[in-house]
Copies of this chain bind each other. A is one copy, B any other.
């Protein structure tokens, strides 16, 4: 897409003035050329990547294509004050990997649309791309296309195409009454990490390693791709999603999609990292906050109690903790079992983009 309207404040051929080189100095076509040189050669399965009107991907015959897209805006989804270019390069791909993981898919081709302020430094963009491509390579994902435009606010939109699992994707719908509810990893770390980065939470209760752990969980969430694929392949998982809006909100989405079901969570079972547990013990945060903070990017799924041994085996095989945190019921609300007594959850909800 072109921009037909010339803007004032046009930059010269740049970099010679002693000032840092900017995106404006590099130019759109300069950026695309730089990018192309860093990408692998065209291959049989991706004969055309970046540089033509569209990318051409020839997937192996299979069960179809899974596609997800996520958009991130500066000062809305991240803040350049405490997010490095490399953090963002990682995270902007990771959140999409997490979506495909939640369906049990295998990510293959990524498409990166960037809206960049003209004054952004070229070195920032280099570091962003380096981190994006590094994570892509770890997951065998190719950067296959995209778009680059000028804008006031840095905005990133990543689309990810992948292969559906051999059986069928695991959907949000499909949970049944009496299903066990599981989460991977630990809950609330990203929320605590964000509050530490924003200096809203005091760091005094934690040692440097704990602070780094929690901040890292916010800035560089793990994408549970292998776990998602293994859970899909086992055929025992009834419903799954990744936790982006918080355990409570996302469990609510899953229960609603599965037909107005409810759940009882066991407070004692919620898996907290030692660092998050320390903040909770110090009164800096509490369980309702950790369950609604969001951006965990852990998998939340439901399975019949008959599958417990198999799921424990998958946890071992994938090297990821899977914790049974509750059970599905038909009561159309989410309750919390606290010291043997069912309690209503507090009113705090997950995130709604336009209302918070």
Q: At the interface, yes or no: A109 with Cβ under 8 Å from chain B?
A: yes
- Mark the stretch among A151-159, A179-187, A307-315, A338-346 that contacts chain B: A151-159
Q: Which chain B residue shows the least CB distance to A218? A: B4
**Which residues from B are CB-within-8-Å of A3?**
76-77, 351, 353, 356
CA distance A242 to B67 in the complex (A): 25
Q: Using a CB-CB cutoff of 8 Å, which residues 33-68 of chain A contact chain B?
A: 47-48, 51-59, 61, 63-68
Residue interface mask A22-36, B partner, CB < 8 A = 1: 011011110100000
Q: At the interface, yes or no: A147 with Cβ under 8 Å from chain B?
A: yes
A354 engages B116 (CB within 8 Å): yes
B65 engages A59 (CB within 8 Å): yes
Q: How far is the CB of A114 from chain B (nearest CB, A)?
A: 8
**Which residues from B are CB-within-8-Å of A27?**
352-355
**Which residues from B are CB-within-8-Å of A148?**
353
> Do A11 and B355 form a contact, CB below 8 Å, given A65-B56, A99-B53?
yes
> Do A70 and B169 form a contact, CB below 8 Å, given A194-B4, A354-B28?
no
B53 engages A172 (CB within 8 Å): yes
CA distance A155 to B115 in the complex (A): 9
B352 engages A28 (CB within 8 Å): yes
Contact partner, A54, options B54, B105, B149, Cβ 8 Å:
B105
**Which residues from B are CB-within-8-Å of A73?**
115, 149-152, 155
> Do A56 and B48 form a contact, CB below 8 Å, given A2-B294, A147-B70, A159-B69?
no
Q: Using a CB-CB cutoff of 8 Å, which residues 254-287 of chain A contact chain B?
A: 257
Contact-residue size bin, chain A (C-beta under 8 Å from the other chain): 35 or more
Contact partner, A67, options B55, B61, B171, Cβ 8 Å:
B55
CA distance A155 to B147 in the complex (A): 13
Q: At the interface, yes or no: A161 with Cβ under 8 Å from chain B?
A: yes
Instruction: Give the residue among A7, A52, A171 with the most B Cβ atoms within 10 A.
Output: A52
**Which residues from B are CB-within-8-Å of A75?**
152
Q: At the interface, yes or no: A209 with Cβ under 8 Å from chain B?
A: no
CA distance A345 to B209 in the complex (A): 62
A109 engages B67 (CB within 8 Å): yes
A355 engages B24 (CB within 8 Å): yes
Q: At the interface, yes or no: A95 with Cβ under 8 Å from chain B?
A: yes
> Do A71 and B147 form a contact, CB below 8 Å, given A27-B354, A77-B1, A354-B28?
yes
A103 engages B53 (CB within 8 Å): yes
Q: How far is the CB of A351 from chain B (nearest CB, A)?
A: 4
Q: At the interface, yes or no: A336 with Cβ under 8 Å from chain B?
A: no
**Which residues from B are CB-within-8-Å of A67?**
54-55, 57, 109, 111, 144-145, 159, 161
Q: At the interface, yes or no: A89 with Cβ under 8 Å from chain B?
A: no
Beyond contacts A1-B244, A2-B77: 16 other A-B pairs, Cβ-Cβ < 8 A, are: A3-B76, A3-B77, A4-B295, A5-B194, A7-B356, A28-B353, A47-B64, A52-B103, A52-B169, A53-B100, A53-B241, A65-B161, A69-B159, A76-B150, A151-B155, A153-B153
The 4 A-B residue pairs whose C-beta atoms are closest, nearest first, are: A58-B64, A2-B351, A157-B157, A54-B68
15 A-B pairs with CB atoms under 8 Å apart are: A2-B245, A4-B191, A23-B354, A47-B64, A48-B169, A52-B171, A53-B99, A53-B100, A53-B172, A53-B241, A56-B164, A57-B64, A71-B155, A153-B153, A153-B155
